[in-house]
Amino acid sequence: GSHAQQQDTAPRIVEHPTDVLVSKGEPATLSCKAEGRPPPVVEWYKDGERVETDREDPRSHRTLLPGGSLFFLRILHGRRGKPDEGVYVCVARNYLGEATSRNASLEVAGE
């Protein structure tokens, strides 16, 4: 029979992250879902810097979920720093191009 050839397509973001307000020590998720052929690789950037997840560092408290969302086991927030607070974007890429999500800010609720 005739086999419809699937066309490769550049990534597009189908679910954008939204702003979140979290209490420190609580888990949080920044959503992101991208489509494309071949399936795009998703990376996260916070304030322009690439976010390391447990893929790079097994001890990381941040996990990249299979769909592309970023999951925080617990929000780190101390007197010396607010390592998780900031503006995040998710970027999906494959060989045809890349797509960038809207900005989403993660804020830690007041002490």
Say which CATH architecture domain 9-108 belongs to.
Sandwich (2.60)
Please provide the DSSP assignment of 9-31 as one string: EEEEEEE----EEE-TTS-EEE-
- Pairwise CA distance, residues 37 & 91, whole Å: 15
Query: Is a pLDDT exceeding 70 seen at residue 3?
Result: no
Query: Is a pLDDT exceeding 70 seen at residue 13?
Result: yes
> What are the tens digits of pLDDT across the range 30-76?
999 999 999 999 999 999 999 999 989 999 999 999 999 999 999 98
| Peptide bond connecting 17 to the previous residue in cis, omega within 30 degrees of 0 | no
What separation, in Å, do the N-terminal and C-terminal C-alpha atoms of the chain show? 65
